[in-house]
A and B are shown apart, each in its own frame.
Chain A
Amino acid sequence: MADHPGPSLERGTSVSCPRGPDGGIPRATMQTVCMASQLSPAVAANGLTKSYGPLEAVRGISFAIAPSECYGFLGRNGAGKTTTMKMIYCRIARTSGTLDVLGLDAAVSAREIKSRIGVVTQENALDQELTVMENLLVYGSFFGLRQAEAEKRARSLLAMMSLTGKERAKYKELSGGMRRRLVIARALVNEPELLVLDEPTTGLDPQARLMVWETLNGLRDRGLTLIITTHYMEEAARLCDRIAVMEEGRIFAEDTPAGLVQRFAAAEVLEVIAEPAHADALAQTEAFDGLVRRRERHGDVTYLYTDDNRALLARMAQAGLDSRRHVARVATLEDVFLNITGRGLGE
Chain B
Amino acid sequence: MNPITALVGRNARLVFWRNFLAWQKYAVSSVAINIIDPFIYFLAIGLGLGAYVTLTGHGTLMQFIAPGMLGMAVMNAGTFDSCWGCFERLNFNGVYESMVTAPVDPLEIAAGEYLWQAFRAILYGTLFLAAVAAFGLIHSWWVLACPLVFALGGMAFAVPGFYVAMIVAIQEHLFFYFSFVVTPMLMVGGVFFPLDRMPAWVAAIGWCTPLYHAVAACRQLLVGAPTLQTGIDIAWLVVFTLAMMFVPRRVLRRKLGN
Chain B residue contacts of A121, Cβ below 8 A: 97, 101
Cβ-neighbour of B101 out of A89, A112, A138 (below 8 A): A89
User: CA of A143 to CA of B9 in the docked complex: distance in angstroms?
Assistant: 14
Beyond A93-B258, A138-B17, A142-B11, whether A127 also contacts B101 by CB under 8 A is: no
Beyond A91-B101, A124-B94, A143-B103, whether A129 also contacts B17 by CB under 8 A is: no
Chain A residue contacts of B101, Cβ below 8 A: 89, 91, 114, 119, 121
Total A residues in contact with B, Cβ cutoff 8 Å: 28
Most chain B beta-carbon contacts within 10 A, residue among A93, A129, A130: A129
> Closest chain B residue to A94 by CB distance?
B258
B77-104: CB near A (< 8 Å → 1, else 0) gives 0000000000000001111011111111
Chain B residue contacts of A114, Cβ below 8 A: 101-103
Contact of B99 with A142 in the complex, beta carbons under 8 Å: yes
B99-122: CB near A (< 8 Å → 1, else 0) gives 111111100000000000000000
Contact of A139 with B258 in the complex, beta carbons under 8 Å: no
Contact of A125 with B97 in the complex, beta carbons under 8 Å: yes
> Closest chain B residue to A90 by CB distance?
B258
Chain B min CB distance to A75 (Å): 22
Beyond A127-B94, A128-B94, whether A142 also contacts B14 by CB under 8 A is: yes
User: CA of A127 to CA of B96 in the docked complex: distance in angstroms?
Assistant: 8
Chain B min CB distance to A283 (Å): 50
Chain B residue contacts of A93, Cβ below 8 A: 258
Contact of A91 with B94 in the complex, beta carbons under 8 Å: no
User: CA of A186 to CA of B17 in the docked complex: distance in angstroms?
Assistant: 18
Segment with Cβ contacts to A, from B18-26, B34-42, B209-217, B242-250? B18-26
Chain B min CB distance to A25 (Å): 25
User: CA of A322 to CA of B22 in the docked complex: distance in angstroms?
Assistant: 68
Chain A min CB distance to B85 (Å): 10
How many B residues touch the partner, as a band? 20 to 34
Beyond A90-B258, A91-B258, A142-B14, whether A127 also contacts B95 by CB under 8 A is: yes
Q: How many A-B Cβ pairs are below 8 Å?
A: 65
> Closest chain B residue to A111 by CB distance?
B103
Chain B min CB distance to A48 (Å): 14
A115 interface residue per 8 A CB criterion: yes
Chain A min CB distance to B16 (Å): 11
Chain A residue contacts of B25, Cβ below 8 A: 129
B60-81: CB near A (< 8 Å → 1, else 0) gives 0000000000000000000000
Chain B residue contacts of A123, Cβ below 8 A: 94
Chain B residue contacts of A119, Cβ below 8 A: 101
Chain A residue contacts of B21, Cβ below 8 A: 129-130, 134, 138
Chain A residue contacts of B11, Cβ below 8 A: 142
Contact of B98 with A129 in the complex, beta carbons under 8 Å: no
Enumerate B166-185 residues with CB–CB distance to A below 8 Å.
none
Enumerate A148-186 residues with CB–CB distance to B below 8 Å.
186
A317-342: CB near B (< 8 Å → 1, else 0) gives 00000000000000000000000000
A94-138: CB near B (< 8 Å → 1, else 0) gives 000000000000000011101100010101111111100010001
A219 interface residue per 8 A CB criterion: no
> Closest chain A residue to B1 by CB distance?
A111
Chain B min CB distance to A56 (Å): 19
A37 interface residue per 8 A CB criterion: no
Contact of B103 with A127 in the complex, beta carbons under 8 Å: no
Contact of A142 with B22 in the complex, beta carbons under 8 Å: no
Cβ-neighbour of B14 out of A115, A130, A138, A190 (below 8 A): A138
Contact of B258 with A125 in the complex, beta carbons under 8 Å: no
Contact of A128 with B14 in the complex, beta carbons under 8 Å: no
A141 interface residue per 8 A CB criterion: yes
Beyond A124-B94, A129-B25, whether A142 also contacts B102 by CB under 8 A is: yes
User: CA of A123 to CA of B97 in the docked complex: distance in angstroms?
Assistant: 9
Cβ-neighbour of B17 out of A90, A141, A143 (below 8 A): A141
A316 interface residue per 8 A CB criterion: no
Which B residues contact A (CB, under 8 angstroms)?
11, 14, 17-18, 21-22, 25, 92-95, 97-105, 258
Q: Kindly list the 6 A-B residue pairs having the minimum CB-CB distance in the complex, ordered from nearest.
A: A129-B22, A142-B102, A124-B94, A119-B101, A114-B103, A115-B103
Which A residues contact B (CB, under 8 angstroms)?
89-93, 110-112, 114-115, 119, 121, 123-130, 134, 138-139, 141-143, 186, 190
Q: Give me 9 A-to-B residue pairs in the complex whose CB atoms sit less than 8 angstroms apart, sorted by A's number.
A: A90-B258, A119-B101, A121-B101, A124-B94, A127-B95, A129-B21, A129-B25, A138-B18, A139-B98
